[in-house]
Structure 1
């Protein structure tokens, strides 16, 4: 199966290690970093969402007009708009980008962050709303006739989109989460299920859970699996670990300068979302897992989102990623700490190795299948 790579689209060079040197809204930097991904083998870039951040669909539309092949993953919280309006926005962006849009639906794992935009539902209620929201959006994308909807959270009559997504397609729906409600909703509705980068055995458990929930929902096609890491690469293993500890020192220094926090959206020591709690639990068990996974960065950031690192040479990191591919991970998020330079380096030095390894595995699997077919026919 093909392997895909997700990077980041942002208007600033700020990260957990780096204070911004750009303007808060630097459109030249945004175009530069997206083009760096487009020119170095990445599949798509993410336009993230935060309560006080820029509106990502506007940035995605701006980038769509200035790029040709890079795909656009738009993060969206269902609490911020009505689903009919969202379906219209997504269809418009898909037309503008000529079929390059995917949507990542975020239910929200932090009550305080959700309340900043007036969302005071409980976590389970938010997941129920997200499921209803996604179902409405998907129906709006495909329905050729006006339809009514009378649900728990939304109620409307006689809606139909005049303009559907580009080329009659249905944009890919992405979803993530580690709670029971997240697995239940995402496995039922999403084309792609996203998990944070965890040790191989824990990742296998999550994939099995997604598959089981998809089967329970009556699906015959399983969601594709997306795993997220922070790559730290260097020409030698020794240099890579020296670089990793410099990254950790920079995280701690930036955190100290900000009074012990890195983000208004996330608690360092008491995260509410299940995914971050899992990352901190794993970090408490040790710093290094498997061949290259390093949890110190997750511990330092409170398990904030994509925070476990893969450390090593390009070859070592590629082999580590191929082990996840062997588990069933076909989409890899690999945002570095120096956003622009790391996107270029990962694209140049790691992505080709992973794709080469995937091609070799696929060829071997095809050969084995071809050899097995005559034997099966003879037995029959």
Structure 2
């Protein structure tokens, strides 16, 4: 099991839909989150893309030296960059980071925003372009290890003798991730990507979606990895967790929710349509599956659901998704710095051994925690003794 966190380059706050409790997401803050995730044992961080965000490549590159093991999942955007340039960028990042870049293919779901980036393609055409784009990108990187060039002439894109002189560390290319729910999206995933991502729908819906992708990949002689994108609200008790969830949307009014849902309805993303359908903009039916809460999706685009509960409950829900074949979990929480620490401290010890091993520090010995009265070593027993007395 691999656990990722999230760098909120589009803003961070304690409450959704209001500037109350908001904080400035500058480089120092993003660095704090990255360093926290690196030291706590997260596998990597997802950096979002779009006009509401700082540029993911520049952000990720600026965090290479601040981290040692952390991987960076950054966006590959057909139409925004050429596939040859994107291949050079990926190889350079991979080399400078010591093999720590992962690519997240993003075709976009908002035609209005895409036009602002100079992309005038409908949903189907974007996927035709993406198919050729990924083929070129992968081949350039793969052939860079032998010095071979690529000539390709497709319906949408073409290159002649495209070469990459400095190959990536990861062979044959840095892994490619992708999430999409439409028919053409799952076809693309089955054909070309390494890890298929889904947003946090109820387990039954996720099972059904993964079965479709898995069957399509099998028909092509391929096997994929699977991941899921979720928020998380974990506290020491279930009651505290649900109180925190309600607190997160306590400043949301109906007008703000309606405006957000109207915007989402204009998008051609099937995944966004599925997210919106989970709650229908109604604050009265947000627990859509046991401990799966859709409140975030009232105003946030993309991933809009959170696991809510105490550590044992959240770990149990994670394992339910793992049983479906998901081995990578990308989490986030508001605010992202504090919640990265809280989640790791409360939930990591309950997850499979690979995660726990990352948290071990064999060169260090105890005591751990603040010494009590300048004399006594703290332990779980101290807490139990205090409760007993």
> Which TM-score applies when normalising by structure 1?
0.85
Gaps spanning 5+ residues in structure 1: where? 360-380
Aligned residues: 347
Q: Which residue of 2 aligns with 1:121?
A: 121
Q: Does 1:296 align with 2:295?
A: yes
**1:355 Cα deviation from its structure 2 partner:** 2.2
Report matched runs for 1:59-78 at 5 Å. Answer: 59-78=59-78
Q: Does 1:354 align with 2:351?
A: yes
| Cα drift, residue 358 of structure 1 | 9.2
Matched, 1:280 2:281: no
Instruction: Give distance in 1, aligned partners of 2:11 and 2:122.
Output: 34
Residue 348 of structure 2 contacts residue 355 of structure 2 at CA under 8 Å; is this kept in 1? Answer: no
**Partner SS, residue 214 of structure 2:** helix
Paired position in structure 1 for 2:336: 339
Matches within 5 A, 1:176-325: 176-216=179-219, 218-220=220-222, 222-250=223-251, 252=252, 261=259, 267-284=263-280, 286-298=285-297, 300-301=298-299, 304-325=301-322
How far did residue 230 of structure 1 move? 1.3
Matched, 1:327 2:324: yes
Instruction: Give 1 or 2: higher helix fraction.
Output: 1
**Runs of 4+ with >6 A deviation:** none
Distance 2:66 2:259 in 1: 35
8 Å Cα contact 1:11/1:27 also seen in 2: no
Report if the CA contact (8 A) 1:194-1:226 is conserved: yes
| Structure 2 Cα separation of the partners of residues 76 and 167 of structure 1 | 17
Aligned 8 A contact 1:147 1:160 in 2: yes
CA contact (8 A) 2:105 2:178 kept: yes
Aligned partner of 1:93 in structure 2 is: 93
Q: Aligned partners of 2:194 and 2:225: how far apart in 1?
A: 6
**Secondary structure, aligned partner of 1:64:** coil
3-state DSSP of counterpart to 2:250: helix
The Cα RMSD (Å) is 2.4
Q: Secondary structure at the match of 2:63?
A: helix
- Note if 1:161 corresponds to 2:160: no
Distance 1:175 1:69, change over 3 A: same
TM-score, length-scaled by structure 2: 0.83
